[in-house]
């Protein structure tokens, strides 16, 4: 084989190896970034719920995500290996959660109101039976399916605020009604006194 041709073949081989190494490096960087992003979500979330979404179509997944958005929650489809690596960075989360990352999984991160998120998941799982509630964590503590469903029955923050506001407003409303009634009551007393004086005269 001519020397020039051999050199060209070596060049092509080296270029292919270089491309492979670059792709591998990019893949490792992407995985590292994904692990960091997942760990950040677990750290920021007040609760995280693991669900199996196998069987849901694109429209159902989109609908579910739209239900979560207004309550400061999001659904993230995860790769089990990367999720487990991300959890190792979160010391406050029960390590047993890693054992549940088997099969087709997504994590619902709740950043504001865990009860509202649990309620949304539970209600949607009734509409779409393909969505299976597996487990979750609340403030780092492991929850099973029944505990998540119980959490869903608790009042959400908005409901608690409404009840508290109602409790505070009720006495105030009564007080305002009394204040409004005082002038009219006083006028009626004066009118009655005037009538009584007229009759006595």
Residue-number span of the structural domain to which 192 is assigned: 156-201
Number of domains in the chain: 2
Within-domain flag for 197: yes
Does 133 lie in the same domain as 46?
Answer: yes
For 39, other C-beta atoms within 10 Å of its C-beta total 19
Six-digit token pair at 30? 């992407």
Does 163 lie in the same domain as 109?
Answer: no
How much is the mean pLDDT over the chain?
A: 79
Does 169 lie in the same domain as 86?
Answer: no
Does 69 lie in the same domain as 138?
Answer: yes
Does 149 lie in the same domain as 113?
Answer: yes
Better-scored residue on pLDDT, 74 or 185: 74
Within-domain flag for 193: yes
For the stretch 158-192, pLDDT in tens is 776 666 566 556 565 555 554 455 444 444 444 45
Does 167 lie in the same domain as 148?
Answer: no
CATH number at residue 100: 3.30.70.1730
Which position has the token pair 């997944």? Answer: 61
This model's pTM is above 0.85 = no
Within-domain flag for 175: yes
Does 149 lie in the same domain as 94?
Answer: yes
Does 96 have pLDDT greater than 70? yes
For 178, other C-beta atoms within 10 Å of its C-beta total 10
Does 180 lie in the same domain as 107?
Answer: no
Task: Give the number of residues written for the chain.
Answer: 201
For the stretch 102-138, pLDDT in tens is 999 999 999 999 999 999 999 999 999 999 999 999 9
Residue 31: which pLDDT band, with cuts at 50, 70 and 90? confident
Does 160 lie in the same domain as 90?
Answer: no
Within-domain flag for 30: no
Q: What is the DSSP string of 177-188?
A: HHHHHHHHHHHH
Within-domain flag for 31: no
Does 57 lie in the same domain as 93?
Answer: yes
């Amino acid at each position: 084989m001519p020397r020039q041709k051999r050199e060209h073949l070596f060049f092509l081989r080296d270029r292919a190896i270089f491309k492979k190494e670059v792709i591998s490096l990019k893949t490792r960087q992407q995985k590292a970034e994904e692990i960091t992003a997942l760990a950040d979500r677990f750290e920021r979330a007040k609760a995280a719920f693991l669900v199996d979404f196998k069987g849901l179509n694109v429209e159902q997944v989109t609908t579910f995500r739209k239900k979560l958005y207004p309550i400061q929650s999001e659904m993230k489809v995860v790769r089990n290996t990367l999720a487990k690596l991300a959890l190792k960075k979160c010391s406050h989360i029960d390590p047993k959660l890693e054992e549940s990352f088997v099969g087709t999984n997504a994590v619902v991160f709740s950043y504001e109101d865990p009860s509202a998120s649990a309620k949304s998941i539970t209600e949607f799982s009734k509409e779409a039976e393909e969505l299976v509630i597996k487990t979750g964590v609340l403030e780092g503590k492991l929850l099973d399916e029944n505990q998540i469903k119980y959490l869903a029955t608790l009042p959400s923050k908005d409901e608690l605020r409404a009840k508290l506001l109602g409790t505070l407003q009720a006495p105030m409303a009564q007080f305002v009604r009394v204040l409004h009634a005082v002038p009219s009551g006083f006028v009626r007393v004066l009118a009655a006194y005037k009538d009584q004086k007229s009759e006595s005269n």
